[in-house]
Amino acid sequence: MSSWASSRFARFSLRGLLWFGILSVLLLSYFLYSPQSAMRGAHPGPVDWAFQSWPALFAMALATWLLLRGPLAATPSFVQKAARLVMLFLIYAAFLYLLKWNPLWNSTQLVDLKIRDTAEGFLILVSTLVWFVASIRVLFRRSRVSAIEPRSFGREETRHSRPKKASWFTVENIAIFHYFFTRK
């Protein structure tokens, strides 16, 4: 098998494995976190369980990232910005639900109730600031050249089509190094 085919197969299998993991987490979180509706006659929908489960929120953020790396890579920049903002919000919401998750705090016996409230409030403040700065950065970032010119996914890269990396080991650099460090 050629190196091109093996690298393409490895990349595909990793993406497939990630998608399988995302679907598994979403399915498990549906069975574990599907809430009962408080209103009579109301049926819980996908939003009810998805936004009350931090694993599902992290899985949806990972799915958004995979979509940005794949099919959404050739879309206009405003679509990519919207997807990045959704991904940031999902990560932020998942982190907040993780902070409210009691088994996380019960696993650390050193933290009592008073310290937990202080630590939780501080972590919520820091995560809110990080989310706000990241959202502002996504909103006001200039669009990339690759977003303007869509990539062709079927194009094979050859040894001659890749840009050459500049090497530090040139004759000139070795001569300068020899001149300065071997003088007595």
Q: Select from 71, 72, 64 the least CA-distant residue to 88.
A: 64
Please tell me the distance from the alpha carbon of residue 56 to that of residue 54, in angstroms, as a whole number: 5
pTM over 0.85: no
User: What total of structural domains would you count in the chain?
Assistant: 1
Asked if residue 64 is part of any domain, the answer here is yes
**Range of 6-15, 85-94, 142-151 with top mean pLDDT:** 85-94
Asked if residue 41 is part of any domain, the answer here is no
Asked if residue 183 is part of any domain, the answer here is no
More confident residue, 60 or 170: 60
Torsion angle defined by CA atoms of residues 32, 21, 100 and 128, in that order, rounded to the nearest 10 degrees: -150
Asked if residue 123 is part of any domain, the answer here is yes
Asked if residue 167 is part of any domain, the answer here is no
Q: What is the DSSP annotation of 115-140?
A: HHHHHHHHHHHHHHHHHHHHHHHHHH
Which residues contact residue 146 at a Cβ distance below 8 angstroms, ignoring those fewer than 6 apart? 73
For 89, the domain range is 3-35+46-149
What pLDDT digit, counting tens, does each position of 25-82 carry?
877 777 776 655 555 666 666 666 667 788 888 888 988 988 888 888 888 888 899 9
Cβ count near 96 (within 10 Å)? 18
Asked if residue 71 is part of any domain, the answer here is yes
Average the pLDDT over 160-174 and give the result. 66
Asked if residue 87 is part of any domain, the answer here is yes
Asked if residue 7 is part of any domain, the answer here is yes
